[in-house]
Amino acid sequence: MYSKEQFAKLMDSTLLRPSATREDIIRCCEEAIQYHFATVVVFPFWLPVAKRALEGSDVKPATVVGFPFGASGRSVKLYEARTAVTNGAKELDIVINYAALKSGERQIVETEVKELVDTVRVTGMTQDAKRTVLKFIIECYYLTDDEKRIACEIIRDAGADFIKTSTGTAPGGAIVEDIRLIRNVVGPDVGVKAAGGIRTTEQAMAMLDAGASRIGTSSAAAIVEGYV
């Protein structure tokens, strides 16, 4: 069992609503500081705002790359990732090119993931920053179980920190079966982030029990408040 403080620290408080305003971002950050969440995840445009709002707290600013479809060119994703680290992101949630994966283009996905990992590591060092945590989103809803396994193997072997289930924009989000599948492929040393449609304490606990090590949600405060 977790203490309430430990439980809160497993939450990535996500605000990726297209209509969110500057005031919404600041309020989200203030709430995250109050609960001591792991991160606040915002669009790249709002990253400097989140960084300033979280300054001096134990909550890390995070952003997305290739969001939400993963279909940007590799050079675009590399630029996004470098810029995000330069702008203060401590964690990146990167959408893989799952359409290429479904097309059988494994090499394209492997090259992209490996280059992103290497680029972010180098950028972090040149910015005199702490190591940036890399989470790759595989968008489970659109993949077969075999494709999920291939994606997990690619990301694990590239040296990333987390595999994340979903962007939250697909018709379906995180399910317990996918968490178990991912954890079975990557073993104990790679993080698993459950995201997409998680709005209750019971849902979050089910994901953690299945092997998740982080929860991505826009309902983080409600989930923590419901934890006994």
Q: Compute and round to an integer the Cα radius of gyration of the chain.
A: 16
Q: Confirm if 174 and 198 have CB atoms less than 8 A apart.
A: yes
60, 135, 148, 193: the catalytic one is 193
Q: What angle do CA 28, 29, 35 make, to 5 degrees?
A: 90
What CA–CA distance (Å, rounded) separates 27 from 218? 13
135 is catalytic: no
77, 90, 148, 164: the catalytic one is 164
Cβ-proximal residues to 31 (8 Å cutoff; 6+ apart), any chain: 13, 220, 221
164 is catalytic: yes
**Exposed e or buried b per residue across 151-164, where buried means at least 16 C-beta atoms within 10 angstroms of its C-beta:** bbebbbebebbbbb
193 is catalytic: yes
12, 93, 161, 178: the catalytic one is 93
| ω into 68 cis (within 30 of 0) | yes
The residues annotated with a catalytic role in the active site are 93, 164, 193
